[in-house]
Amino acid sequence: MAVSRAKRRFFASALTLACGVFACGVRNAGAADVRSQQSAATATDPAAQTAANKRAVKQVTDETGRHMAIPLNVQRVVTLAPNLTETIYALGLDGKLAGDTTYCDIPPAAKEKPHVGSAQEPSLEAIVALHPDLVLATTSINRAETADALLKIGVPVYTSDPHTIAGMLGSTATIADLLGASEQGAKLVAVLQQRLDALHEALQDRPLAHVLFVVWEDPLISIGQNTFIADALRWAGAESIIAASQNWPQVSMEEVVRLQPDYIVLTPDHLEAETHEHVDTLRNRPTWSELRAVKLGHVVMASDEFTRPSPGLVDAIESLAHELHPDVFSTSAALPAPHFSQRTVGAGLGPAPTTANAHTLSQFAVERLSNEASRCAR
């Protein structure tokens, strides 16, 4: 009888233990399933993914002195300028590019990304709707008010401010680091620096060509000594005849005639005809016809990459160096292949802005000297 009771107690205990183990397993399985569903939701929901990324942050100071917290794991980035978009693609990080601007067209794939409006007046609502971990801006075209407004609502904005080629390379490395690709950034910068060093070695014994770099024709706007374009000219074996502290000075034709540049360098975005046709146009213009460079046909059209502080600028520097110093480079040597598909745009006259809006135009002339830029200036 005692044995029977012992057996019953034993089986009851075993049954209780088994039920407990089963229940625990069910609860664990259920919890694992919930965690799995939550992980899947985070992976497919940009808002949830952004919230998860923001849990671990680092404090950074951008190139304008703004302080902010940036997620350690940046997965979604919005760029507010063409040069920044090009930089993302050059680093091979386009998978993280959630959106860009209507001006972003190099490489062509950038045009397929969601747009947040123009670089001067992007839509804050469109930016926020893309749930970026980070927004990239630049002083060369973006307004400070845009960055301030985004930072105020909790969206981190890193603004670059390159005034030299070294500054552009530094910004490229920093962007790579912010996006968790320090090694890729270091490799890209090293390759670009090697190409620049090779160019410097080839041109170091050559006198600098004196050029008039035309940002806009009417009114005539050129470049100041402290712009990245002026520094790019030096790498190409040239220097601007305009010695101005202002970034985008308006210049009189009388002063240009007095200085007599060796070459005139045009930018393509606001031009329509072929270069030789534009030379003929300049020869028939009062004052322009007095320039020896025009009489000799020393008019060069730089790549549109020349007005963008991005890795593609090195391609444009090499190409311009070949144009300005053809005797240094073998005619049989092929020009360096560009990183991006560059548009072929000819030369001719675009609509002339007024003197009143020339200052506004010069703020973003480095990005778009076309009808789009003219409309933004108004």
Nearest CA to 351 among 364, 369, 376, 365? 369
Can you give the pLDDT at residue 204?
Answer: 93
Tell me: pLDDT of 338 over 70: no
Tell me: pLDDT of 315 over 90: yes
Cβ atoms within 10 Å, residue 334: 6
Same-domain status, 154 and 221: no
Tell me: pLDDT of 377 over 70: no
H-helix or E-strand spanning residue 136: strand 134-138
Q: Is the residue at 321 inside a domain?
A: yes
Same-domain status, 313 and 172: no
Same-domain status, 249 and 368: yes
Task: Report the number of secondary-structure helices (H) and strands (E) in the chain.
Answer: 14, 10
Can you give the pLDDT at residue 371?
Answer: 38
CA distances for 110 relative to 35, 61, 82, 89, 153, angstroms: 36, 28, 9, 8, 27
Q: Find the range with the poorest average confidence among 91-100, 219-228, 312-321, 342-351.
A: 342-351
Same-domain status, 221 and 366: yes
Can you give the pLDDT at residue 268?
Answer: 75
Contact 218, 199 (CB under 8 A): no
Between these two residues, 365 and 320, which has the higher pLDDT value?
320
Q: Would you call the peptide bond into 132 cis, given omega within 30 degrees of 0 as the criterion?
A: no
- Taking the model in full, what pTM does it have? 0.75
Q: How far is CA 248 from the centre of its chain?
A: 20
Residue 253 tokens read as 């034709």
Q: What percentage of the chain carries pLDDT values higher than 90? A: 63
Same-domain status, 224 and 161: no
Can you give the pLDDT at residue 51?
Answer: 55
Q: Is the residue at 33 inside a domain?
A: no
Residue 356 tokens read as 């009143």
Domains in the chain, number: 2
Q: What is the pLDDT of residues 177-205, one digit of tens each?
A: 999 999 999 999 999 999 999 999 999 99
Cβ atoms within 10 Å, residue 239: 18
Same-domain status, 213 and 354: yes
CA 193, CA 177: separation in Å to the nearest integer? 18
Q: Is the residue at 112 inside a domain?
A: yes
Burial zone of 124 (CB within 10 Å; 0-12 exposed, 13-18 middle, 19+ buried) = middle
3-class SS of residue 134? strand
Same-domain status, 162 and 218: no
pLDDT grade, residue 255 (50/70/90)? very high
Instruction: Round the average pLDDT of the chain to a whole number and report it.
Output: 79
Write down the residue that tokens 């690709």 correspond to.
Answer: 181
Q: What is the pLDDT of residues 256-290, one digit of tens each?
A: 999 999 999 998 754 554 556 677 788 888 889 89
Give the domain CATH number at 255: 3.40.50.1980
Which of 186, 221, 242 marks a domain boundary? 186
CA 106, CA 261: separation in Å to the nearest integer? 31
pLDDT grade, residue 303 (50/70/90)? confident
* Backbone region of residue 239 per phi and psi (left: phi > 0; alpha: psi in -120 to 50; beta: other values): beta
Q: What is the pLDDT of residues 355-364, one digit of tens each?
A: 333 333 333 4
- For residue 167, what are the domain limits? 52-186
Q: Is the residue at 16 inside a domain?
A: no
Same-domain status, 164 and 247: no
Same-domain status, 122 and 240: no
pLDDT grade, residue 165 (50/70/90)? very high
CA 13, CA 97: separation in Å to the nearest integer? 60
Can you give the pLDDT at residue 284?
Answer: 82
Residue 114 tokens read as 């969601």
Q: Is the residue at 197 inside a domain?
A: no
Nearest CA to 136 among 49, 74, 226, 45? 74
Q: Is the residue at 217 inside a domain?
A: yes
Q: What is the pLDDT of residues 65-119, one digit of tens each?
A: 999 999 999 999 999 999 999 999 999 999 999 999 998 999 999 999 999 999 9
Same-domain status, 178 and 214: no
pLDDT grade, residue 365 (50/70/90)? very low
Write down the residue that tokens 């350690």 correspond to.
Answer: 72
Can you give the pLDDT at residue 282?
Answer: 81
Q: How far is CA 210 from the centre of its chain?
A: 28
Tell me: pLDDT of 151 over 60: yes
CA 369, CA 350: separation in Å to the nearest integer? 9
Q: What is the pLDDT of residues 6-40, one digit of tens each?
A: 444 444 444 343 444 334 443 444 444 434 444 44
Which of 153, 186, 219 marks a domain boundary? 186
Between these two residues, 345 and 87, which has the higher pLDDT value?
87
Can you give the pLDDT at residue 45?
Answer: 59
Nearest CA to 212 among 134, 112, 299, 312? 299
* Angle (nearest 5°) at CA 300 between 82 and 326: 115
Any alpha helices (H) in the chain, and if so which ranges?
A: 2-44, 46-53, 82-90, 124-129, 144-152, 165-178, 182-203, 228-235, 253-259, 275-283, 292-295, 312-324, 358-363, 371-377
Q: Is the residue at 85 inside a domain?
A: yes
Same-domain status, 263 and 357: yes
Tell me, what DSSP letter sits at residue 274?
-
Q: Is the residue at 59 inside a domain?
A: yes
Can you give the pLDDT at residue 300?
Answer: 92
Q: Find the range with the poorest average confidence among 125-134, 242-251, 338-347.
A: 338-347
Can you give the pLDDT at residue 90?
Answer: 97
3-class SS of residue 235? helix
Amino acid at 15: L
Residue 121 tokens read as 């007046």
Residue 191 tokens read as 């390759």
Can you give the pLDDT at residue 240?
Answer: 97
pLDDT grade, residue 218 (50/70/90)? confident
Name 250's bridge partners.
Answer: 221
Same-domain status, 180 and 228: no
Between these two residues, 272 and 310, which has the higher pLDDT value?
310
Q: What is the pLDDT of residues 47-77, one digit of tens each?
A: 555 555 557 999 999 999 999 999 999 999 9
